[in-house]
Amino acid sequence: MILGLHRFQFEPWYFGITIQDQIQQNIRLNSILEVLILTGFNSFYVFEKNVKLISLNNNFQNSNEELIALKAVVEGTQINNMEELLDLAKSGDPGFLSLFQYIFPGFRDALSEINPNFGQEEFKLCAYIKLGFNTKEIAHFNHLSIRTVQTKKSRLRKTFNIPSQKNLYVWVSEISENIPFPLQPTVED
């Protein structure tokens, strides 16, 4: 041997260690090393996942804040549209029905499913009812007499076969349950 290292190589029997004991000790050392290595890899993996989770959480919070901001803008637009719709309805403006159909897109279709032969005047009356205006208000906005509006409501009942026991405002809200009803109906005649 080079440099005389052979002097320090002792046989296991010299210390009273059997080969079997040495094998078991090597197995234990290998197991401990394996556990340490696997723990190190596992710790690195967990650390890496935590970093990703923190990043995703930050992205989620930023997205959530953006979503809240966009929702506020949309709700503000809807409120403005609804206020504009009510103003158009009160002034008897012809653009009222166009904006109404924009805000409540499925309402006319729901009426058409019940009676496809209804006219523009029936739709307009249903729109006023959907917005919760009472007979007196509808008459005032359209420059009609109260009796004329009552007659139109009666004809509306016949057109759509609405029983006289059924509240007209409730019926209008029931035919369009999936469409929001922004205002509660005022006094019913």
- Ramachandran region, residue 49 (left: φ > 0; alpha: ψ -120 to 50; beta: rest): alpha
Taking the C-alpha atoms of residue 48 and residue 80, their distance in angstroms, rounded to an integer, is 48
In tens, the pLDDT along 124-139 reads 999 999 999 999 999 9
| pTM as predicted | 0.54
Instruction: Compute the CA torsion angle 159, 105, 86, 151 (nearest 10 deg).
Output: 0
57-78: pLDDT as tens digits: 777 776 766 666 666 655 655 5
Q: Whole-angstrom Cα distance, residue 81 to residue 32? A: 71
178 vs 171: which has the higher pLDDT: 171
Query: Rounded to an integer, what distance in angstroms lies between the CA atom of residue 18 and that of residue 72?
Result: 80
Q: What is the pLDDT of residue 66?
A: 66
pLDDT of residue 95: 84
On the question of pLDDT at 189 being above 50, the answer is no
CB distance 122 to 159 below 8 Å: yes
